[in-house]
A and B are shown apart, each in its own frame.
Chain A
Amino acid sequence: MRRSSAVGRAGFAPSMLFVGPFLLVYAVFVIYPLLQAVRMSFYDWDLLGMAREWVGGENYIRMLWGTDMQWDVAHLWLQRLLIVAAAAFIGWRATRSKSRFQWAGAAALVVLAVVLGFHPGPDGLWYDPLFWTSLEHTLQFTLMSTPLIIGLGLAMALAVNSKHRGGRFYQVAFFIPYVLPISVATLVWSNVLSPGRGILAEFLANFGVEPISWLGDQRFAMVAIVVTTAWWTVGFNLVMFSAGLQDVDPTLYEAAMLDGAGAWHRFLNVTLPGLRHVLALVVVMQVIVGFAVFGQVNIMTSGGPGNATRTLVLHLYETGFTQKHLGAAAAMAIFLFVVMFVVALIQLRLMREEK
């Protein structure tokens, strides 16, 4: 920008009239709390403010460690084998692309695979077994909901962006549940799934299926939460994919048609590559909201039955506000933040590589 123009001379003080108010609020309500969360995680910090005592890394130890800890190769071998395989794949790609970022990713995965070999021995216990239960269920939720919601969103986007008129109308209709408050979405689904009077039970009765207490059965509760979440949030992905589809170059479809490519081949060779960018973005966003799942489980099942739907944020919330250990809860918040930060970092990298 030319220095001679009045805009070019924008000084610090006058510009602060524009950014200052936001920066002030941002510093007070985002940056300060984040730093404070790190600090609190090193304290024994009681909810009622009675005890605020420095305990070093004890909250983290109590979260991640246990008594009589052992390390062996066989523990969680399948999961760890998959992690090592992922590391090998990324490492193999790194040797070709010479990307330091990929090397770091591969190394981090190897470290993770090694660390996951630790577990309490026969006479030992995790200090906080529920943390691991919650982590496992959070991963379960994320692994189930991400493909379901993305697949459904993509299918809907393709359906509403067909050559037929009226797609816009259907898109709006599919999107409606997304704007509902979570308490309404869960209220509706608690009733839909209710074995006594739910319309699902009524519908399945036509096929001779006995009423199932979806939310009260350990086998089904998480699936029920996933289905509710998919219904509630798929609209977001639909809109993202819709926008992505409109950016796919229509001449590519024409070229594919001339080559005699069928609908499936056009989807595989034109649509999907055209959506790569949106797809990467949506996967990352979905993983992040999956890790943060809270309202659905807190309202529909309170983490039950038998902790089957207890998730990280629910455990964090209860540690802080039911058991009143804000320091321990802060440590979990930092753990969550680090996980999400890593995922977001990968997103940024992917977006930059695409550009």
Chain B
Amino acid sequence: MVTQMDSSTPPVVSRHSPGNARARRRGRKAAGSVVYHVLMATVVFVWLVPLIWMLSMSLSTDESLRINASSLIPTDFTLENFRNAFALSLVGRWFLNSVIVTASTTLLTVVLCTLAGYAFAKLPFPGRALLYAVVLGGLMVPFEAVFIPLFTTVADLGQHNTYPALILPRIASALGVFVMTQFFSKVPKEYSEAAMVDGAGRWTVFFRIMLPLARPAILSLAILAFVWSWNDYLWPLVSVSDREMFTITPGLASLKLQWSNAQDLGSIMARGVVGAAPVLIVFLIFQRYLLRGITLTSGEK
């Protein structure tokens, strides 16, 4: 890292001394650093302008937006839009559905993938290589290729518009198993063997040694699963026909016809903010784990 100079105390040195040249160089570095940060801050600001604008509109009254909608700070501050979003539309219900579906999907994905990943990495059972190859093959099956048969199967069972129909088809994550297998295979076998010598069983080793070690990987997978599930669009779109059962992502999209109608822009944007808030908050808290999770999914790290 470059040590930055404190610009408030310029070093006093005589001209033509070697110290002067060094100070000039340091001065240039500090100036370069300022230029870098001003430039980056500007670019980041422009990059996030659409979001800032959405937030600003969600906090402005519809009346003021009809006069001027392009302000990046709320023109006539109000929280009314958020109250309306929950009181006057299905947004509250969709939000609740999303919470239920996302929480269940995340939990089940993490449990299944962690158990399977541990077995594929550390338990040399017969047929392991073959089964793992089959699971890796699943990485090549896009959801777009299987959602039609899933739709007919769930329809034949009469299970559309239920929570299990929204949750179960989304928990079989080959990518999740891949991530956990990669992680566990890097844990030295001495860890578990030492415990085995002490008479610990397979489950004891798993719960007492492997799970605590795997905490960061599990957290990364959980955050990824959370974001995937909250943002899932195609499956709830085809599976749900009863508007009350929408999750918030397809729910908000189903309101798109109102987007072009400028009458209640504030409320529309408030709904968008409500839909984005949980993922944004989870991301900002756990960003380290999410970013690491993304590199894990590629098998890079």
Among the 9-residue stretches B13-21, B50-58, B80-88, the one with 4 or more Cβ atoms under 8 Å from chain A is B50-58
| Cα separation A11 to B234 with both chains bound (whole Å) | 40
| Cα separation A186 to B301 with both chains bound (whole Å) | 32
Using A37-B146, A180-B279, A337-B141 as known contacts, say yes or no to A1 and B233 having CB atoms under 8 A apart.
no
| Cα separation A247 to B150 with both chains bound (whole Å) | 41
On whether the beta carbons of A294 and B300 are closer than 8 Å, the reply is no
Using A33-B150, A173-B47 as known contacts, say yes or no to A288 and B116 having CB atoms under 8 A apart.
no
| Cα separation A160 to B44 with both chains bound (whole Å) | 11
Using A18-B115, A36-B149, A162-B36 as known contacts, say yes or no to A179 and B144 having CB atoms under 8 A apart.
no
On whether the beta carbons of B123 and A7 are closer than 8 Å, the reply is yes
**Most B CB within 10 A of own CB, among A7, A160, A184, A190:** A184
Which residues of chain B from 24 to 58 have any CB-CB distance to chain A below 8 Å in the complex? Answer: 32-33, 36-37, 40, 43-44, 47-51, 53-54
Q: Which residues of B have CB within 8 Å of A281?
A: 298, 300
**B2 CB, min distance to chain A CBs, angstroms:** 6
| B107 beta carbon closer than 8 Å to chain A | no
Interface size on A, residues (CB 8 A): 97
Q: Which residues of A have CB within 8 Å of B282?
A: 179
On whether the beta carbons of B144 and A184 are closer than 8 Å, the reply is no
| Cα separation A29 to B300 with both chains bound (whole Å) | 27
On whether the beta carbons of B146 and A333 are closer than 8 Å, the reply is yes
Q: Which residues of B have CB within 8 Å of A32?
A: 149, 153
Main SS at interface, chain B: helix
**B225 CB, min distance to chain A CBs, angstroms:** 13
Mask: chain B, 132-164; 1 = CB below 8 Å from A; 0 = not: 001100111110111111111101100000000
| A350 beta carbon closer than 8 Å to chain B | no
Cβ-closest chain B residue relative to A329: B148
**Most A CB within 10 A of own CB, among B156, B174, B253, B262:** B253
On whether the beta carbons of A22 and B177 are closer than 8 Å, the reply is yes
On whether the beta carbons of A181 and B152 are closer than 8 Å, the reply is no
On whether the beta carbons of B152 and A40 are closer than 8 Å, the reply is yes
On whether the beta carbons of B290 and A1 are closer than 8 Å, the reply is no
On whether the beta carbons of B283 and A181 are closer than 8 Å, the reply is no
Cβ-closest chain B residue relative to A216: B260
On whether the beta carbons of A19 and B119 are closer than 8 Å, the reply is yes
On whether the beta carbons of B125 and A164 are closer than 8 Å, the reply is no
| B231 beta carbon closer than 8 Å to chain A | yes
Using A7-B192, A239-B291 as known contacts, say yes or no to A163 and B272 having CB atoms under 8 A apart.
no
Using A184-B276, A189-B50 as known contacts, say yes or no to A5 and B135 having CB atoms under 8 A apart.
no
On whether the beta carbons of A299 and B142 are closer than 8 Å, the reply is no
On whether the beta carbons of A191 and B253 are closer than 8 Å, the reply is no
Which residues of chain B from 269 to 301 have any CB-CB distance to chain A below 8 Å in the complex? Answer: 269, 272, 275-276, 279-280, 282-284, 287, 290-291, 294-295, 298, 300-301
Residues of A whose CB lies within 8 Å of any CB of B are 1, 5-8, 10-12, 14-19, 21-23, 25-26, 28-34, 36-37, 40, 45, 49, 159-160, 162-166, 170-177, 179-184, 186-192, 194, 196-197, 199, 202, 231, 236, 239-240, 243-244, 247, 277-278, 281, 285, 288, 292, 294-295, 298-299, 313, 316-317, 320-321, 326, 329-330, 333-334, 336-337, 340-341, 344-345
In the complex, besides A25-B168, A29-B168, 8 extra interface pairs with C-beta distance below 8 angstroms are: A6-B201, A7-B124, A23-B116, A36-B152, A40-B149, A166-B40, A240-B298, A243-B295
Q: Could you write out 28 A-B pairs with CB less than 8 Å apart?
A: A6-B202, A7-B193, A7-B196, A7-B202, A12-B125, A18-B206, A19-B116, A22-B112, A26-B138, A30-B138, A33-B147, A49-B156, A162-B36, A176-B280, A177-B51, A179-B282, A180-B279, A181-B231, A183-B233, A184-B272, A188-B54, A199-B70, A292-B142, A317-B234, A326-B148, A337-B142, A337-B145, A344-B139
Residues of B whose CB lies within 8 Å of any CB of A are 1-2, 4, 32-33, 36-37, 40, 43-44, 47-51, 53-54, 69-70, 111-113, 115-116, 118-120, 122-128, 131, 134-135, 138-142, 144-153, 155-156, 168-172, 174, 177, 189, 192-193, 196, 201-202, 205-206, 227, 230-231, 233-234, 238, 248-253, 256, 259-260, 262, 265, 268-269, 272, 275-276, 279-280, 282-284, 287, 290-291, 294-295, 298, 300-301
